Amino acid sequence: MKIYIMTDLEGVGGVVNKSQVFAGSVAYEKACERLTLEVNAAVEGALAAGADEIVVVDGHGANSAVNLIYDKLHPGAVYIQGVPWTTYPQDLDETYDAVFQIGAHAMAGTPGAVLEHTMSSEHWVEMRINGKPMGEIGLIAACAGVYDVPFVMVSGCDKACAEARALVPEVECAVVKYGITRHCARVLPHAVVLDLIRQKAGEAVKKARSVAPFKVEGPVAVEIDYLRNDMADMVKERLGVEKIGPRTVRFTGRDIIEAYARVRGA
- Between 6 and 231, name the residue whose CB sits nearer to Zn ion: 6
- Between 90 and 248, name the residue whose CB sits nearer to Zn ion: 90
Distance CA 149, CA 137 (A): 14
Distance CA 7, CA 65 (A): 11
Strand order in the sheet with 248-253: 132-133, 124-129, 220-226, 248-253, 241-243
Residue 10 Cβ vs Zn ion, minimum distance, rounded to whole Å: 5
From the list 9-17, 22-30, 79-87, 252-260, the region that binds Zn ion by CB under 5 A is: 9-17
DSSP output for 155-175: EEEHHHHHHHHHH-TT-EEEE
- Between 8 and 97, name the residue whose CB sits nearer to Zn ion: 8
Facing residues of 133 across strands? Answer: 128
Asked if residue 158 binds Zn ion (CB under 5 A), the reply is: no
Residues with Cβ within 8 Å of 136's Cβ and at least 6 positions away in sequence, in order, are 8, 101, 104, 105, 107, 118, 119
**Beta strands per DSSP E along 72-190:** 78-80, 98-104, 124-129, 132-133, 151-157, 172-181, 184-187
Catalytic residue among 105, 117, 123, 183: 117
Touching Zn ion, residues 59-78 (CB under 5 A): 60
Distance CA 99, CA 80 (A): 15
Is position 117 annotated as part of the catalytic site? Answer: yes
From the list 6-14, 184-192, 213-221, 246-254, the region that binds Zn ion by CB under 5 A is: 6-14
Asked if residue 177 binds Zn ion (CB under 5 A), the reply is: no
- From residue 206 to residue 245, the character string flagging contacts with Zn ion as x (rule: CB under 5 A) and all else as - is ----------------------------------------
From the list 5-13, 79-87, 216-224, 257-265, the region that binds Zn ion by CB under 5 A is: 5-13
- Between 60 and 159, name the residue whose CB sits nearer to Zn ion: 60
From the list 52-60, 127-135, 148-156, 221-229, the region that binds Zn ion by CB under 5 A is: 52-60
Ranked by CB distance to Zn ion, the top (closest) residue is 60
What is each CA distance from 68 to 30, 34, 202, in whole angstroms? 11, 9, 21
Asked if residue 8 binds Zn ion (CB under 5 A), the reply is: yes
- Between 97 and 163, name the residue whose CB sits nearer to Zn ion: 163
**Sign of CA pseudo-dihedral 172, 177, 180, 186:** positive
Kindly provide the b/e burial profile for residues 157-173, where b requires at least 16 CB atoms within 10 angstroms of the residue's own CB. Answer: bbbbbebbeebbeebbb
Residue 182 Cβ vs Zn ion, minimum distance, rounded to whole Å: 14
* One-letter amino acid of 77: A
- Between 6 and 43, name the residue whose CB sits nearer to Zn ion: 6
**Residues labelled catalytic:** 117
Contacts to Zn ion by CB under 5 A: 8-10, 60
